Amino acid sequence: MQVVIDILENELIEKYPDVLGILLRDQSTQKNIFWATDNYEHLGDSYRFNSEILPELITGEKGNVIMPRVHKDKILQLSRSKEMAEVFTPSWICNAQNNLVDNSWFGKEDVFNKEILKKNGTKSWETTKEKIVFPEGKTWQDYVRDTRLEISCGEAPYLVSRYDTTTGEFIKIENRIGILDRKLRVVNENLDSINEWLKAVETAYKNTYGFEWQGDSLLLAREALLITFIENFTYKFETEPSIETIQNIVRIISWNIWQMDGLKGVIPNSCKDEFIEISDFFETKTEIKKCKGCATQNIKFHNGIYCTIMDWDIEKPIKFISLLEK
């Protein structure tokens, strides 16, 4: 089982053909996700802000171009924090906040773990060893189907916790605290048939969402969800899942973890000024018409590309902002 935190794109291409291509897919534009950061432009024109992330740009000799924040240069970390407000949350905080949601859902505390203070002054948690017990009127299937979203997800530490994004410390499967990690734990505890397990895990993935602005972080988040699936399958059944099964999960991930400007509901930087020519008897003037949504800060009136996600109940794409009206 993989115990390193950096998922190498070269290994993905070699071991799981076609998977990297799906992980790079943007379902809203039917193109690839794009960099949406200037951090890589020194590598060439293909790495500019608006350039798509293509497999050949991050594999082969360029296989180490994208890496987790904890492995990035300290100066680059500070730059991203200043320019894009990129701040990664320690796992103990992710756990505490996820616990608050589960405290409400279960109607009691310390369901998955108990928060503790270590002797050295650091905060952590002790995992509950007993099988998770569900409250009257609720089942483990209800928990797996409960729809949850991580906004501005970065590398998705609230969804899956393979490693602490601030220290790089690897976290064992049984001690993980992410939203999806908890759903997978529940499935692992209640099902032993591979087919039934796969159906339940598919449901868990279909009801777990996240969006992110920057393309490199988005890819890392998607990869983390993929490897989390493979690790849990191997942990449960002591063998790796088939490539067909992996591709099915990756397709779900490509829809549910998407690139978006969270304030506008559109693909980042897709809103444009319109240039209108106005002619009279004497001259032609050009007026600039700003995006109405940007000008009024109204999410309904942007002229950019609105992001679509999959409504898995009807198997049809819907605009993300349509959910805000419900």
114 strand-pairing partners: 126
Predicted model pTM: 0.90
Residues 6+ apart with CB under 8 A from 34: 26, 49, 50, 51, 52, 53, 215, 259
Cα(86)–Cα(103) distance, integer angstroms: 28
Q: Which residues of the chain have pLDDT under 50?
A: 1-2, 75, 77, 80-81, 85-86
Residues 6+ apart with CB under 8 A from 103: 109, 111
Instruction: Report the run of H or E that residue 276 belongs to, with start and end.
Output: strand 274-279
Cα(186)–Cα(46) distance, integer angstroms: 43
User: By CB neighbour count within 10 A (0-12 exposed, 13-18 middle, 19+ buried), where does 3 fall?
Assistant: exposed
Helices (H), the chain: 9-15, 19-23, 74-84, 91-106, 140-145, 179-190, 194-206, 215-237, 243-256, 292-296
296-308 pLDDT, tens digit per residue, is 999 999 999 999 9
The pLDDT assigned to 284 comes to 75
Token reading at 31: 């193109």
The pLDDT assigned to 74 comes to 52
- CA torsion 270-213-200-101 (nearest 10°) is -120
The pLDDT assigned to 79 comes to 54
245-256 pLDDT, tens digit per residue, is 999 999 999 999
Of 316, 306, 301, nearest in space to 29 by CA: 306
Structural domain boundaries in the chain: 1-259, 272-326
The pLDDT assigned to 165 comes to 78
